Structure 1
Amino acid sequence: MMKKTIGFLALSVVLATTSCKQGSVSDKITDEDMKTVEADKNLAGKLPKVKFDKEFHDFGTIAEGVVVETEFIVTNVGESDLLIFEAKGSCGCTVPEPPKDPIKPGESAPIKVAFDSKGKPGNQEKTVTLTTNTEILHEMFRIKANVTPMAK
């Protein structure tokens, strides 16, 4: 997506700088400009792409104060290395641990997720958002738990 944008911007600059002069704009666009735009289009197909083994995990009913963990397996089904720049839970009670190394095309890696139910009675649903180098830039999965309150 970013490569497409750069190519489009480059072509826009060429058009903008030539449109105020006499002559046809199409006469001013060189073969090299068109090759750059085509190369940018081709790169978009070679981005990494994420596939999860699951996009949702239900811990079921747990007691308040318990920390539970699960693991999501992320597979790179794209054509270049997958980079996970950041993994963030929707609240501080949800802590993901993404892989630190790039995930090569065709390879998989675990993302561990811990949920701390302390102070979270009732039905809980949290998301984990990954910031990546995929075309959509953000990937997401969810966890859920029914937390029974502590006896007072």
Structure 2
Amino acid sequence: MQQNGDGKFSFKFENTGKEPLIIQNVRSSCGCTIAKRPTAPILPGESSEINVKYDTRRIGRFHKNITVTSNADNKSVVLHIKGEVVAKPKEEVPVKKVNKGFTPVAG
């Protein structure tokens, strides 16, 4: 993805259990990654998503973790995002030839 680009990811999931699923917390491995959890319980058979935004101002490869804590049997799950932020291509401005005209020189 490009520097200063859209660093959004979405993790979709379905509650396959028999009880409402409550996402209690989402925690990212650094401040450059922000995760938002659903606040309402996810009923059995329903789907939801966890939205993640990575700060794309930094150039280079990244691999970040988001730990999701819930009331499910496996209390926590770790989500991974990885990729590379590349510099924006430099824009070239065409230069036009300028005719400065004739300047007489006195002599």
TM-score range, shorter chain: 0.7 to 0.9
Q: How does 1:26-65 map to 2 (within 5 A)?
A: 62-65=1-4
TM-score by length of structure 1 reads 0.53
Q: CA deviation at 1:117?
A: 1.8
Q: Secondary structure of 2:7's match?
A: strand
Q: Secondary structure of 2:26's match?
A: strand
Q: How does 1:10-89 map to 2 (within 5 A)?
A: 62-89=1-28
Segments of 4+ in structure 1 off by > 4 A? none
Q: CA deviation at 1:133?
A: 0.7
Matched with 1:142 is 80
Q: CA deviation at 1:68?
A: 1.4
Matched with 2:105 is none
In structure 1, what residue type is equivalent to 2:67?
Answer: T
Q: CA deviation at 1:150?
A: 6.4
* Count of aligned residue pairs for this structure pair: 89
Matched, 1:104 2:43: yes
TM-score by length of structure 2 reads 0.73
Name the structure where helix makes up a greater proportion of residues.
1
Q: CA deviation at 1:141?
A: 1.3
* 1:125–1:91 CA distance, 2 compared to 1 (3 A): same
Identity %: 31
In structure 1, what residue type is equivalent to 2:14?
Answer: T
Paired with 2:88 and 2:27, the residues of 1 have a C-alpha distance of: 27
Query: What RMSD over aligned residues (CA atoms) do the two structures have, in Å?
Result: 1.7
Matched, 1:115 2:62: no
State the Cα deviation string for residues 81-124 of structure 1 (Å, max 9, x = none).
111111111111111111100011111112111111223x2211
Question: 5+ unaligned residues in a row in structure 1: which ranges?
Answer: 1-61
State the Cα deviation string for residues 55-104 of structure 1 (Å, max 9, x = none).
xxxxxxx2233341121112111111111111111111111111100011
